[in-house]
Chains A and B, each alone.
Chain A
Amino acid sequence: MADKIILEVARYSPEQDTKPCFATYEVPVHKEWVVLDALNYIKDKVDGSLTYRWSCRMGICGSCGMMVNGEPKLTCATFLSSYAHNGNKIRVEPLRYFPVVRDLVTELSDFLVKLKKVKPWLIRKDTVPLSQGEFLQTPEQLDYYKQFSMCINCTLCYSACPVVGLDPKFVGPAAIALAQRYNLDSRDQGAVERIAVLAHPEGIWGCTFVGECTKVCPKHVDPAGAIQQYKLNAVLDWLTSFLMPRGHNSQDVKP
């Protein structure tokens, strides 16, 4: 392994620049270092104005997503050494399809609006006092939605999704997966409310099932799978609304 690596980092300050450009930095390589360590090295030793988000450095807070050589990555989990074959050059850019605030920092407020839109909280029609203890949920019932509860909101899937690129109003992979996380939870009774939000062209029908979201997810949430399940249930609902106008609702598919 070479002892130096070149980082080409996207720089942009709305106060100084009309458009983004790249700055090049030479950074020492240690075998334990990830891309984030290289950025921290630059900020600490070379240029304190380099701007990016990071926090936990253990792949759980979801702050440090960036494009690394064109792919959406958590930079705290992306080793410099894995790019040694690539002419020792790494290009770091802000996550694609988001407006850029500065350097590597993207604007997330629209994502937060989308998250809230799908009502990602447990909806119950009844109120049961705490004194009656926990709602029972078997390990099998837990497993049914668990995968979709693992999303860390890193937004890598939005940067991977061509539909997000074409239609910024698309609710997007993470938010739909989160809706499905609650729909599939045996304790929840809100699936009907959520389908009202999601069964339209900017919701689940926007997805063309490219599946890139699932490929880039660092937590194996499988948003693509969530969306396909959702579509199927929406179709079943539509059909049953003709057959059983006042009855069954297949959004409630929990075991």
Chain B
Amino acid sequence: MDVSSHDVLLVGGGGAGLRAAIAAAEVNPQLSIAVVSKVYPMRSHTVSAEGGAAGVIKEDDSLDEHAYDSISGGDWLCDQDAVETFVKEAPQELLQLERWGCPWSREPNGHIAVRAFGGMKKRRTWFAADKTGFHMLHTLFQTSLRFDPITRYDEWFVTKLLVDEGRVQGVVAIELMSGRIQAITAKAVILCTGGCGRIFPFTTNANIKNGDGMALAYRAGAPLKDMEFVQYHPTGLPFTGILITEAARSEGGYMLNKDGYRYLQDYNLGKPQPKPVLRSMELGPRDRLSQAFVSEDQKGRTIQTPYGSIVHLDLRHLGEKVINTKLPFVRELCMKYQNIDPVKELIPVRPVVHYMMGGVSTDIDGATPLAGLYAAGEVACVSINGANRLGSNSLPECLVFGARAGKAAALFAAQQKVPNGSVLAQATDERKRLESQFLFKTGGRERISTIREGMQTTVEKCAGIYRDGASLAEGADTLRQLQERFADINLDDHNRTFNTELEAALELGFMLDVAESIVQCALHRTESRGAHQRTDFPARDDKRFLAHSIVHRNPDGSSRVELLPVKITRWAPGERVYGELSQTNEPPQAVLTRKAG
């Protein structure tokens, strides 16, 4: 079998992966760094992020306020040491991107401009019109081209982590172009593969978001954390699931029900004002807005369409000029994909699966409990997002923890020996598995799309915006049956060259494992918090569940959920307050005194 070797290996070349690669190259230019990505890096899903990236930069703002907004927005499930690190380093990272050429939107005097975002009490979201992720990703990709220590493996699909002597020592990957299956060994591996929205039928996530990294880690013995927390974004276009950015609301858009009524005022989110008010109404957090939609729907105050119930997002009063300068992509998407012009018409929207708060459990340096394995970005759970991520925290998360993981992995790699020969035997076994169970197998009876659709309807039904024990238990059973049927899968494509059907089958395998971890965590958490709402346990229960769900995979493939207490530094758990009250009350800062030492 062919083998290539590097010091640090990135799986994924999006925002977190490229930032990590550059960080590793800067820490130690002697290292050899590999970026292994199943797509060309500039195709990575970071490219779709629209609204912006939060980082304290203006004089009226403070790190503590950003931390408090994030922690209360996360319903007190964030690790507060991680949040403090995050808010401190986010502005530096965004500034670094400015130095690399990111075309941030500006104030008339040439300084960085910031906009309001949901759940944030100050304006602190940097933006590049409404294509922030696109510009960040292309800036990172173009900048990465000048770092010679970085070797790219474009369109290589990682199927397995190689683990020996309790340490990750590389990966097995398929080069799509040739179909060659080979080992790429490394002294440290960083997973930056993003989320897994495609487990659900209706999602903003690109086709490539299949939980690859989560499943790779989980199968290799690294636990996942807080998988039950799935974010529904309140404003997706029906049918396509294309995201209409939260920036549309921060610029002043209204949410209207079928009667043209700003219904969020009925859900403890404040009173309607003509102009946007921070931490109020349309600028409430995403979990609360998506939950409000479900209530409106139950009251019969939504509009029925062939693609589900909808409400409206109204931007008409903003005028053409504001829409063109601040929200040009929103207008482009509406016109191209929905055939409506938001300058003159209402935008039909409904909640759509958008983001995984949970992921591979890491510390603040991106290290997982499995030696040599790191993770950063959406694939990871540090955790700064708790039970509900605030909009515009995920892009800086990619940068802050991408950079930290890159540095930590570079330091770790410099102290390790060359990977040992026994991982090559594992790689050969993996190649045989891929060939016998997928590529050259004949006689299977199941189609990929049938099982994938089965999984998607099951997960939506039992682990959507509202959940209960009975449907979760039923969902868990159905997923187990789907796993069995997956073993009987049939491929039409037995070519080695660019076999996207083989890739889709392996992605489906990843998604089934991740789906199971979501349902098991949701079943285990018998309380309601943030994005996890149990109708049979409607209250938050800090006594039992001020804790992360840690899910391990047992050798027989089943899962085991344990609890790990949340790290509290300075902000004692309190009530989440939005609307007028959040304007008048000062956030309870520094209510806990820091422990000496």
Contacts and interface: CB of A to CB of B under 8 A. Distances in A.
A22 to B, nearest CB: 18
Nearest to B209: A55
Contact of A142 (B103, B448, B500): B103
A102 B501 CA distance: 13
Nearest to B496: A15
A48 B493 contact: yes
Interface in B25-64: 39-40, 42-45, 47-48
Contacts, number: 157
A136 B134 contact: no
A14 B497 contact: yes
A35 to B, nearest CB: 13
Interface stretch (A57-65, A83-91, A236-244): A57-65
Given A122-B99, A136-B111, A61 B206 contact: yes
B343 interface: no
B545 to A, nearest CB: 36
Given A146-B103, A152-B134, A55 B45 contact: yes
Given A49-B492, A102-B498, A138 B109 contact: yes
Interface in A111-165: 112, 115-116, 119-122, 128, 130, 133-139, 141-142, 145-146, 149-150, 152-153
Contacts of A63: 39, 43
A89 to B, nearest CB: 23
Contacts of B449: 43-45
Contact of A60 (B48, B112, B447, B491): B48
Contacts of B112: 134
B582 interface: no
A62 B42 contact: yes
B240 A121 contact: no
B101 A51 contact: no
Interface residues of A, number: 61
B331 to A, nearest CB: 13
A178 B329 CA distance: 20
B337 A130 contact: no
A102 B95 contact: no
Given A48-B447, A142-B105, A60 B207 contact: no
B103 A149 contact: yes
B48 A149 contact: no
A47 interface: yes
B275 interface: no
Nearest to B39: A55
Contact of B177 (A49, A101, A128): A101
Interface of B: 39-40, 42-45, 47-48, 92, 95-96, 98-101, 103-112, 131, 134-135, 138, 142-143, 145-146, 154, 177, 206-208, 239-240, 242-243, 329, 332-333, 336-337, 447-449, 491-493, 495-501, 504
